[in-house]
Amino acid sequence: MRPRRSTWQHPAAPKPPYAREPFKGVILSDLTYRRATATDLPALVAMLADDMLGQARERPEDPLPDAYRAGFAAIDEDPRQLLLVVERAGAIAGMLQLTFIPGISHMGAWRCQIEGVRVASTARGAGIGEAMLRHAIGVAREHGCRIVQLTTNKARADAKRFYERLGFEPAHEGMKLTLG
């Protein structure tokens, strides 16, 4: 059973423009950022599968398993979620997901959780990952977030160094329990 979507929003909550309207593309140099669409799914799943960890858990088949479409629909319908696609020269070059989280700690601070950061293998090494993260941080600021957080798998030492270079600090020890 899917949780019922609440229409109530705290008056201090950020009013994200993408909650009701499509995310408008923003051009930064030669990169374009836009909200992902269902037609992007094959390319996005292929990026998720294109690393040592993703090879074991993703299924970039044709046709894609229905679970990917269901997951995309849940993200797309949730006004606190934003699945961003980054394009370069008309081709998908990267992706990331932003989740805006209200809280009472840190005096009611909103957080932005960054997940699923991927750069297409053909676009790596060109600064796209850094541009994507800087763009994501800007989006978080625009939406009133005071904290941006992310996790990275311990097996991804290069990713950890990359995030630290961008100012992220290893402030917490993440815990995970896989349920299925």
pLDDT in tens, 26-75: 445 789 999 999 999 999 999 999 988 887 888 889 999 999 999 999 99
In a domain, 32, yes or no: yes
8 Å CB contact between 100 and 58: no
The answer to whether residue 23 scores a pLDDT higher than 60 is no
In a domain, 124, yes or no: yes
In a domain, 12, yes or no: no
The answer to whether residue 137 scores a pLDDT higher than 90 is yes
Domain membership of residue 132 as a residue range? 23-165
In a domain, 54, yes or no: yes
- 76's enclosing H/E stretch is helix 66-77
Counted domains in the chain: 1
In a domain, 47, yes or no: yes
8 Å CB contact between 78 and 114: no
Mean model confidence pLDDT for the chain: 85
Q: How far apart are CA 28 and CA 134, in angstroms?
A: 11
In a domain, 49, yes or no: yes
- 157: domain CATH number is 3.40.630.30
The values of phi and psi at residue 122, to 5°, are -75, -10
In a domain, 82, yes or no: yes
pTM strictly above 0.85: no
In a domain, 149, yes or no: yes
The answer to whether residue 16 scores a pLDDT higher than 60 is no
